[in-house]
A and B are shown apart, each in its own frame.
Chain A
Amino acid sequence: MPQASRDIQRRIKSVKNTKKITKAMELVSAAKMRKAVSRVLATRSYSDLVWDTVLHLVKKLDTDKHLFFQEPKEVKKVAVIIISTNRGLCGSFNATLVNKVTESIKLHHPDVIDTDVITCGTKGRDEIRRRKINLIADFHKEDITASSEDIRPISHMITKDFVAKKYDKIFVAYTDFMSSLKQVPHVKQLLPIVPEIDERLGHINHEKDQVDKISVDNFAEFVFEPGMENVLDAFLPRLVEVQIYQAVLESEASEHSARMFAMRNATDAAGDMIDELTLAYNQARQASITGEIAEIAAGSAALE
């Protein structure tokens, strides 16, 4: 066999192997995505209810009293938590997230002097480092975030920094899982708490809000046990924690579905490539056979 067609054959073999791998990775991601999605949906109801409670409280309270609700007079220093992935091969997932972060920092807060970044996930960390953005902390991200306790170190740190007035605003950047086809990078303000409906994580129907609103308007005020300060001091950090937890789960679901689609595209591309290479191989083979026949014919013609 001549050299050219042997090379093509080798190429086909290697592309076939790659296709097998990407196909397997697609299936693995699909399975992981299903799991992650069910976890997101389970958590959404909790975070929605927590958020509902906040909305109820806000209506009945003078919210400016608590530090977590106070809008800063001027925003000088902000912190952004970026929830990215540990592994690559998921398309432009991490790049678009980091782009969104830098964009929104520039767009909304031109007067911000300093932005510190806290990362969760190695890919985001590397990207931030490459862009020479101020990175102050990097948290290890588990492949599967088992419970909200895994998030506690992050939420603990940022609430502490916020209370100490180290930062005027704190954001979390994550990828919102809208459907398995659509994931949107999103930057959300964590602190101070902005009590508006559209600020909630995830996408849920707002129909039940109507019902809740009616029941809240019927009475004068809430009783707190043991005391408003105590309850809010315990409740609001919990709210922050839940929101970060929710953001992490959304990101996880998005990551797996992004990877699934990246791998599906890779598998399709490998298929196309194999077709093209097979065609080229057959042409080369045919050409060499034609060449050989022509040689034999010429040889026999010379003998006669």
Chain B
Amino acid sequence: MKDLKLKIVTPEKILFEKRVSQVSISTVMGEVTILPNHIPLVSQLASGEVVVNANGDEEDLMAISGGFVEVLPDQVVILADTAERAEDIDEERAEVARKKAEEVLKTKASDAEAFAMFTAQIEKEMARLKVARKYKKRGVRTGITNK
């Protein structure tokens, strides 16, 4: 089967670089799954999860917050503003960060720009939380099947 070269980078580091069979990302227009030989696409990303599927069964979960994706027939480059692997996210801290951002939004958001910034922050934390919970759930499930 053909595969894709996937690269996920942030300004601070390269998070992921591997050949994969498919990748799902959430763009501002909704979620897309990219398979090899996808039509060339440049899209803006929303805060959300990235699900990478390499060779059928192996799945990698990541949370990203905004950025861009460039899709070429044989490679996908995700230029994320921030990106984290599911296993690196501390669920409690993400929850705290989200609550804090929500509070700040209620009290301090005076102008449109600040409002947009805090909403984006909340979205980012929501995405992280979602990914962290999904990862946890999956971890529990595989634990049962192993018994």
Interface residues of A (CB under 8 A from B): 39, 42-43, 45-47, 49-50, 52-53, 56-57, 60, 147-148, 215-216, 218-219, 221-226, 230-231, 234-235, 238, 242, 245
Contacts and interface: CB of A to CB of B under 8 A. Distances in A.
Contact of B12 (A43, A53, A238): A43
A152 B51 CA distance: 29
A215 to B, nearest CB: 5
B101 interface: no
Contact of A223 (B28, B40, B44): B40
Contact of A50 (B13, B27, B73, B79): B79
B16 to A, nearest CB: 12
> Is the contact region of chain B dominated by helix, strand, or loop, or is it mixed?
strand
B11 interface: yes
Contacts of B73: 215, 218-219
B70 interface: yes
Interface in B24-81: 27-29, 39-44, 68, 70, 72-75, 77, 79, 81
B74 A49 contact: no
A222 B77 contact: no
Interface of B: 7, 9-14, 27-29, 39-44, 68, 70, 72-75, 77, 79, 81
A50 B10 CA distance: 10
25 contacts: A42-B13, A42-B14, A45-B9, A45-B14, A46-B10, A46-B12, A49-B7, A49-B9, A49-B77, A50-B79, A53-B42, A147-B11, A148-B11, A219-B40, A221-B40, A222-B40, A222-B41, A222-B42, A223-B42, A224-B41, A225-B27, A231-B42, A231-B44, A231-B68, A234-B68
A215 B75 contact: yes
> Is the contact region of chain A dominated by helix, strand, or loop, or is it mixed?
helix
Which of B9, B28, B40 has most chain A Cβ within 10 Å?
B40
A39 B14 CA distance: 11
A53 B78 CA distance: 11
Contact of A242 (B7, B11, B44, B72): B11
B44 A53 contact: no
Contacts of A221: 40
B72 A231 contact: no
A45 B15 CA distance: 11
A225 B28 contact: yes
B142 to A, nearest CB: 32
A126 B39 CA distance: 52
Instruction: Kindly list the 6 A-B residue pairs having the minimum CB-CB distance in the complex, ordered from nearest.
Output: A225-B43, A148-B11, A46-B9, A53-B70, A223-B41, A222-B40
A65 to B, nearest CB: 15
A245 B11 contact: yes
A222 B39 CA distance: 8
Nearest to A54: B70
Nearest to A232: B42
Given A50-B79, A57-B42, A222-B42, A235 B68 contact: yes
Contact of A238 (B28, B41, B43, B68): B68
B44 A226 contact: yes
Contacts of B72: 56, 215-216
A56 B68 CA distance: 14
B11 A43 contact: yes
B43 A231 contact: yes
A54 B29 CA distance: 22
Which of B10, B70, B75 has most chain A Cβ within 10 Å?
B70
